[in-house]
């Protein structure tokens, strides 16, 4: 438990440092554009899941709370205030899923910064993304990013099975607001609700992980722009 807590704190500190870099280098606008493009790419790659009544809530959670063009700094500030207390009251499964989410968020932000630094003044589109993704040379971290996504999905599926977790989240809503950790509580509640009615989690996670790994490997293996495996996003190209 203490090791998990230490990793959470480390990821929060690293994320805070990266937010400072983004501000200092005036990268906020381009980071949001990149995240918007990546979100649209995800929706095209997994359009069958996005258009499924069963899977859409879980897809929405990943987009809104992990990958999307959203400022998570307030949630991270709140979390830093209560992590030691949370470690004492949260079930180990809940803490594990929180750690996976924060690590994924931290790593994704690191990779986004690397990409926009490669992009420079280029417009974000299918061709420039293909080129900069490969030039950044972060294959091992891309592998980790996908693995963390899988871990988070499987962890959340276990959290929703914890006896009484629904009542705990509902009853803690007002105390969370009073304590100044409302956005953190909202994050936990959204994760619970989106996975509560998912059913067999592998039906959702396995296609995502398989496709993302195949796309990542194809991007690094491509011999040139003519082998670009990224889907065409008509509204952006």
For position 197, what pLDDT does the model report? 77
Q: What pLDDT does 2 receive?
A: 66
77 falls within a domain: yes
Range of the domain at 27: 2-227
- At residue 99, the pLDDT reads 79
Between CA 229 and CA 163 the distance in angstroms is 44
How crowded is residue 174: how many other Cβ atoms within 10 Å of its Cβ? 11
For the chain, state the CA radius of gyration: 18
In a domain, residue 190? The reply is yes
Q: Does 234 fall in a domain?
A: no
* Among 163, 164, 122, CA closest to 30: 122
The confidence score (pLDDT) of residue 193 equals 74
The answer to whether residue 236 is domain-embedded is: no
Q: What is the pLDDT of residue 26?
A: 92
Q: Which residues contact 52 (CB under 8 A, 6 or more apart)?
A: none
Q: Is 153 exposed, middle or buried (0-12, 13-18, 19+ CB in 10 A)?
A: buried
145 within a domain of the structure (yes/no): yes
Whether residue 235 is contained in a domain is answered as no
pTM of the model: 0.83
Closest CA to 58 of 206, 230, 182: 206
Looking at the structure of the chain, the number of domains it has is: 1
Q: Write the DSSP string, 23-54.
A: HHTT-HHHHHHHHHHHHHHHHHHTHHHHT-TT
Q: In this structure, what token pair is assigned to residue 64?
A: 């809104």
95: in domain: yes
Residue 31 located in a structural domain: yes
Total residue length of the chain: 237
Each of the 237 residues of the chain gets a pLDDT tens digit; together they read 567 778 888 888 888 899 889 999 999 999 999 999 999 999 999 999 999 999 998 898 888 877 777 777 766 776 676 666 666 656 676 677 777 878 888 899 999 999 999 998 899 999 999 999 999 878 999 999 999 999 888 877 776 655 545 544 554 455 445 444 555 556 666 767 777 778 888 999 999 999 999 999 999 999 999 999 999 886 544
């Amino acid at each position: 438990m203490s090791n998990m807590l230490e990793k959470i704190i480390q990821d929060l500190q690293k994320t805070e440092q990266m937010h400072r870099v983004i501000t200092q280098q005036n990268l906020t606008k381009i980071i949001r554009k990149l995240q918007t493009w990546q979100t649209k790419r995800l929706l095209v790659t997994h359009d069958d899941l996005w258009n499924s009544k069963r899977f859409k809530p879980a897809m929405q959670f990943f987009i809104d709370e992990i990958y999307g063009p959203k400022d998570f700094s307030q949630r991270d500030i709140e979390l830093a205030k209560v992590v030691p207390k949370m470690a004492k009251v949260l079930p180990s499964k809940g803490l594990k899923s929180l750690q996976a989410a924060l690590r994924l968020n931290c790593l994704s932000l690191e990779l986004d910064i690397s990409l926009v630094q490669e992009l420079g003044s280029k417009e974000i589109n299918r061709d420039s993304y293909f080129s900069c993704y490969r030039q950044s040379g972060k294959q091992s971290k891309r592998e980790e990013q996908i693995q963390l996504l899988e871990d988070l999905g499987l962890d959340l599926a276990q959290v929703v099975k914890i006896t009484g977790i629904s009542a705990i989240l509902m009853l803690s809503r007002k105390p969370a607001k009073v304590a100044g950790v409302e956005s953190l509580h909202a994050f936990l509640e959204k994760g619970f609700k989106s996975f509560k009615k998912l059913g067999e989690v592998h039906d959702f996670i396995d296609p995502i992980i398989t496709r993302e790994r195949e796309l990542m490997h194809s991007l690094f293996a491509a011999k040139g722009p003519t082998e670009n495996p990224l889907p065409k996003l008509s509204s952006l190209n």
